[in-house]
Chains A and B, each alone.
Chain A
Amino acid sequence: MPESWIILQPIIILFTGALLTPLIEYFGRALKFEKVRDAFAVIIFGLSLYSLLGIYEEVQRQGQLTYFLSPYEPKMGGVSFFVDQFSVFMALLFCLLGLFVSIYSVKYMEDDTGLDKYYSLLMVLVAGLVGISFAGDLFNLFIFWEAMSLSSYALVAFRKYRWEPIEASFKYLVMSTIGSLTALYAMSILYGLTGTLNISQLAAIIPTLKIPLQILYLIIVAIIAGFGVTASIVPFHFWLPDAHPAAPSGISAMLSGVVIKAGVYVIARILFTIFDPIAFDFGTTLVIFGIITLSVANFMALLQRDIKRLLAFSSIVNIGYIVFGFGIGAYALNIYGAAGYSIATLATMGAIFHIFNHAIGKGLLFLGAGCFIHEAGTRDLVDLEGAGKKMPWTGTSFSLGLLTLAGVPPLSGFWSKLFIILAGFTVPGNTFMVVTTSLVVLNAIFAATYYLWLMQRLMLRAPKPKVERAHEVPILMVLPVVILGLITVILGLWPFEIMGFAEVATKSLLGLIGG
């Protein structure tokens, strides 16, 4: 067995855990110790994170790892796994948030039934996410994609005794399935043109094809639209503001923190690797989508009274920043060729770093909002006023989360936005870049105002009657929130390590282009 089979370790651990959880639940019931399944889930997430650290070290040493499942020939583009710095970066992020959410769920989901299924689905969700980031061919990616999507539909509808999760989940299922089928349609055309779905082989074959460019652009559009549904780029975002608030708070954190990032990851991975950005102009499309996403979602966020709905719209805003960052990178490469490599690196690094910051920040905010809802029993912002005063630990961490997403300087969210905006302003003569980046700056200021307004309502106003009797949540719930808050502060003051990681991730994504 080749050494690089360690790639499969986290995926195997998570799937095995998902299969074993109902069994553990059964024994736990027999022994009258039901909490054992929660402990088991936390251990499984810890183990997968540990095995990912092993993969991380291996990737640091070798640059990249590939692994073929043996019965299939690599030549045909069979089942293959490919891991580079960018994949490991994403996978670590997915597992880290999975661990926090599983710790948080121990107390938060205490009153629900069917928790073995909850943890099983959560493990399949994270296994799917890790599989997506490790997939080396498009069909393999599609299978993990569906594993992730199916478990997230089921998790959104987890509290099926209420009407809202049912409707939201149905809407999410229909829209997201159309999206993934559109992407599969694009894959089928790619397979027909090239005879392979292996990502690195596709990258080698595409430039040699002698077919009209329109067909290739059709594929690019289908991939952006297809995966853009899950990434919630604006014309395809309608499911998100319903599905994310309807899910239990831990799952909202997973969905907003990492699942939509998987969509962005797949778009970036496929477009940058398979279609050379110097030859194909998809940067302009991504920039325009980014701007539309930012502006529409910012406007919609202002109109919300439901705290989780507001946070859901803010997730769409942040997807706008990330897509814009990737777009500027691709645009610079397309316009300036290899000379645009430094701009592209800066913008893409900002986008990748922002993926990290938003996952941590939005995970924190949804978990914190869950704490408030747990105590006050309402999601209405008017009723939640002053809740932060009654719950100082949650309130302080929640404010840190809001400040990092607002891009206040000492926190980590500031750095990623700075990189994206700096990259946009590098070439003063390029009107398109300057105008779009100015729009992003305006939107960032606009967003900062409502984050601060939300913070002022929760932290500074006099407590409303519904939160009068609220007090700090149990330690297992507040611990993940506080740790996430600390991460934003520490990485804000000392961002160099994570920036270095984001930079090598960027280089491995853009690797073939400028070297």
Chain B
Amino acid sequence: MSTPDFTLYAITAIFLYIIGLYGIVVRRNMIRTIIGLEIVTAGVNLNFLVFTILDGDLLPLAQYFVAISIVIGAAVASLALMITIQAYRHYGSIDLKKTSRLRW
């Protein structure tokens, strides 16, 4: 089996990372911020898989790593959504511009 050209995947991973970061920085909606976080997680996980393809084979441990990393990402997202629900109960809004009373 020939080595596939995985440069494209690596670039995609970096793009996902940047897109997610952009979403977090620019969007002021809490749900969209969480989606941004998830996109960053996806980018990093993809990168983990891409960089571990050697001679067409995937290093076996990388699969474990990515599986665990996805679980951790889900835990983070669920906690973030819990906080979003609480914020909605306080303000009736999930817009960070309206909720933000802290000095940034």
Number of interface residues of B (CB under 8 A): 39
- Whether A375 is near chain B, meaning CB under 8 Å from some CB there, is no
A178 touches B101 (CB 8 A): no
The answer on a CB contact under 8 Å between A178 and B21 is yes
For B54, the chain A residues whose CB sits under 8 A away are 195
Residues of B within 8 A of A163 (CB): 90-91, 99, 101
Interface residues of B in 21-76 (CB under 8 A from A): 21, 24, 30, 33, 37, 40-41, 43-44, 47-48, 50-52, 54, 59-62, 65, 68-69, 72, 75-76
The answer to whether A173 and B75 touch across the interface, beta carbons within 8 angstroms, is no
* Contact-residue bracket for chain A: 35 or more
Looking at chain B's contact residues, is the secondary structure mostly helix, strand, loop, or mixed?
A: helix
Given contacts A167-B100, A167-B101, is CB(A177)–CB(B44) below 8 Å?
A: no
User: Are B76 and A185 touching (Cβ within 8 A)?
Assistant: no
- Chain B's closest residue to A189 (CB) is B51
Counting CB contacts under 8 A, is B11 at the interface?
Answer: no
Question: Taking A166-B90, A195-B54 as contacts, is the C-beta distance between A146 and B83 under 8 angstroms?
Answer: no
Contact yes or no, B87 A185, CB < 8 A: no
Q: Is the CB of B79 within 8 A of A191?
A: no
Q: How far is the CB of B6 from chain A (nearest CB, A)?
A: 10
Interface residues of A in 94-111 (CB under 8 A from B): none
B24 touches A76 (CB 8 A): no
- The answer to whether A181 touches B48, judged by C-beta atoms less than 8 angstroms apart, is no
A185-B17 contact given A76-B61, A157-B83, CB 8 Å threshold? yes
A167 touches B44 (CB 8 A): no
CB distance from A337 to the nearest CB of B (A): 33
Report the separation of the CA atoms of residues A220 and B101 in the bound assembly, to the nearest whole angstrom: 35
Docked complex Cα distance between A171 and B30 (Å)? 10
Q: Which residues of A contact B33 (CB under 8 A)?
A: 174
Cβ of A154 within 8 Å of any chain B Cβ, yes or no, is: yes
B-facing residues in A174-204 (Cβ within 8 Å): 174, 177-178, 181, 184-185, 188-189, 191-193, 195, 197
Tell me whether A150 is interfacial, beta carbon within 8 Å.
yes
**Is A393 engaged at the interface, CB distance under 8 Å to the other chain?**
no
Report A369-386 CB contacts with B as 1/0, cut-off 8 Å: 000000000000000000
Chain B residues contacting A78 (CB-CB under 8 Å) are 61
Known: A146-B72, A191-B52. A160 touches B86 (CB 8 A): yes
Query: B21, B80, B84 — which one has the most chain A CB atoms within 10 A of its CB?
Result: B80
Q: Is the CB of A192 within 8 A of B51?
A: yes
Which residues on B sit within 8 Å (CB–CB) of A177? 37, 40, 76
Contact B37 A185 (CB under 8 A): no
Instruction: With CB as the reference atom, state the residue of chain A lying closest to B65.
Output: A139
Q: A-B contact count, CB below 8 Å? A: 97
Min CB distance B45 to A, Å, is 8
Return the contact of A184 from the options B44, B52, B60, B104 (Cβ within 8 A). B44
Is A277 at the interface (CB under 8 A from chain B)? no
* Closest residue of B by beta carbon distance from A176: B76
Residues of B within 8 A of A178 (CB): 21, 24, 37, 40
Asked if A492 is at the interface (CB within 8 A of a chain B CB), the reply is no
Interface centre among B43, B69, B102 (most CB of A within 10 A): B102
Q: How far is the CB of A244 from chain B (nearest CB, A)?
A: 12
Q: Is A238 an interface residue (CB 8 A)?
A: yes
Q: Is the CB of B60 within 8 A of A76?
A: yes
Which residues of the partner chain A approach B47 to less than 8 Å between Cβ atoms?
Answer: 185, 188-189
Do the beta carbons of B83 and A166 come within 8 Å of each other?
yes
Q: Contact check: which of B37, B65, B102 meets A171 at CB < 8 Å?
A: B102
Is A164 in contact with chain B by the CB < 8 A criterion? yes
Binding site for B on A (CB under 8 A): 72, 76-78, 139, 142-143, 146, 150, 153-154, 157, 160, 163-164, 166-171, 173-174, 177-178, 181, 184-185, 188-189, 191-193, 195, 197, 238, 242
20 contacts between A and B (CB under 8 A): A76-B61, A139-B68, A153-B79, A153-B83, A154-B79, A167-B102, A169-B83, A170-B83, A170-B84, A170-B87, A173-B76, A177-B76, A178-B40, A181-B40, A181-B41, A184-B48, A184-B69, A188-B44, A188-B51, A191-B52
Known: A72-B61, A142-B69, A171-B102. 17 other contacts (CB 8 A): A76-B61, A139-B61, A143-B72, A146-B76, A150-B75, A157-B86, A160-B86, A163-B90, A170-B80, A170-B83, A173-B79, A178-B21, A178-B40, A185-B44, A189-B47, A195-B54, A195-B59
